[in-house]
Amino acid sequence: MTFTITITRDEDGVYIAECPAIPGCVS
């Protein structure tokens, strides 16, 4: 299995990882 993961950084410098293919997957 292969999933696309989006990693973003907010204004406080905290990294957020999201996997749109998996409902509710945000850490």
Residue 3 confidence class, pLDDT cut points 50, 70, 90: confident
- The pTM assigned to this predicted structure is 0.52
For 6-26, how does the pLDDT look when each residue is reduced to its tens digit (9 = 90+)?
999 999 999 999 888 887 766
Show the 3-state SS of the chain: CCCCCEEEECCCCCEEEECCCCCCCEC
> Which two tokens mark 7?
């990693």
Q: Could you state, in order of their start, the residue ranges of all structural domains in the chain? A: 1-27
Q: How far apart are CA 9 and CA 23, in angstroms?
A: 21
The HSE-up count of residue 2 (CA atoms within 13 Å, CB side) is 0
